[in-house]
Amino acid sequence: MNQTRSAPVFALAGLLLAASPLAAEAEHDLASEASSPGLTAFHARLAKEQLLQDIGWKLVTGNARYCVDAAPAIGLQLHDMASYREPQAVRKLLGLKGDVAVLTAADGSPAQLAGMATNQSIAAIAGEDPNSWPAQPNRDWQRIKRAHDRIDAQLAETGTVAITLSDGGSISAIGVAACASRFELGGDTKRAVAEGSRVIIGLDFPGFDYVEEEFAAAIAHELAHNLLRHREWLESEGRKRRNIRLTEREADRLMPWLLANAGYDPAASVRFMEQWGPRHGGGIFRKRTHDGWDERVQFIEAELPQINALLQREGAADWQRHFRREINARD
């Protein structure tokens, strides 16, 4: 979102060693004018957006009972024409009546079950018209953040949120508990990063070509960084090589636990690492901020017997009680 961030950001290909603007987050270059190629590009990106939100929704709702910061959510992702390079062209391209519209509604979420779908124009959120809020002429990400924050605040206050559509329809969605982490598709990058409250997956991340449960493992790795509060711990204890390595190891080991509670095969985390590691891990592993990919597989495999035993005995993998921490994470 064209912000300069001073906090560390975790990346599956390694921890970013210097703070830098994540400009790709706000780069929604659909087209310079309303055109068929632009619409094709939008739908190609939308397919990845939808997959990311569907997987993310399973992970944050399936693990909500173990997240200390779980809050009501409805699985709705909006977008704002003001965040694009050429707002009027994109609005025309998508055939929207206003600036704020539905981008995705996660599969099985309250938003999707209430009938919300891509490109429905939004007239009001809990009685406020987000289209009327001040915005810069282009690439303004603050208004869409305000819209999502309003949804979250309304859900926290009442457990439900009313959304009015531009065609006059009205939808009321009841929130369900979810871990407090958002999922966003970045720009033309192969990186997957965790930023504390968000997981950002690059448009060219190789995991999009994997089977769903293996891609879910990659997303679970980044989510694990957020749930285990690794950013806070590194800020407190220092970003030494050893500390980075410990946080990466913990994120690897928590992957199968998060997958199990989301309904995926926890062993998919092993298959993901076996596929991803040999192709993408060499350079950063030689710096020893991470274990070697084969070592990482061993650490992940070591978690599986306990997870499977808990699933058989309790029907869920309670990582708050049974996952062994390697660092002294602070609350």
Residue ranges and CATH numbers for the domains of the chain are 28-54+69-178 (2.30.42.10), 186-322 (no CATH)
**Range of weakest confidence among 34-43, 159-168, 183-192, 296-305:** 34-43
Length of the chain: 331
Mean pLDDT of 287-304: 84
Nearest residue to 270 (alpha-carbon basis) of 300, 302, 290, 245 = 300
pLDDT in tens, 220-272: 999 999 999 999 999 999 999 889 999 999 999 999 999 999 999 999 999 99
Q: What is the pLDDT of residue 187?
A: 87
- 153 pLDDT higher than 70: yes
Band of residue 289 on the pLDDT scale cut at 50, 70, 90: low
The model's pTM is 0.87
- Lowest mean pLDDT across 35-39, 104-108, 240-244, 285-289: 285-289
71-73 and 176-178 as β-strands: parallel, antiparallel, unpaired?
antiparallel
**How many Å apart are CA 214 and CA 226, to the nearest integer?**
19
Dihedral sign from CA coordinates of 66, 215, 199, 270 = positive
E-assigned strand segments in the chain: 10-11, 71-73, 76-80, 100-105, 122-125, 160-165, 170-174, 176-178, 182-185, 192-194, 198-201
Give the residue-averaged pLDDT of 283-301.
73
Distances (CA, A) of 281 to 203, 220, 294: 19, 18, 10
* Alpha carbon distance 222, 270 (integer Å): 15
- Per residue in 58-110, pLDDT (tens digit) is 999 999 999 999 999 999 999 999 999 889 989 998 999 899 999 999 999 99
Mean pLDDT, to the nearest integer, of 307-324? 97
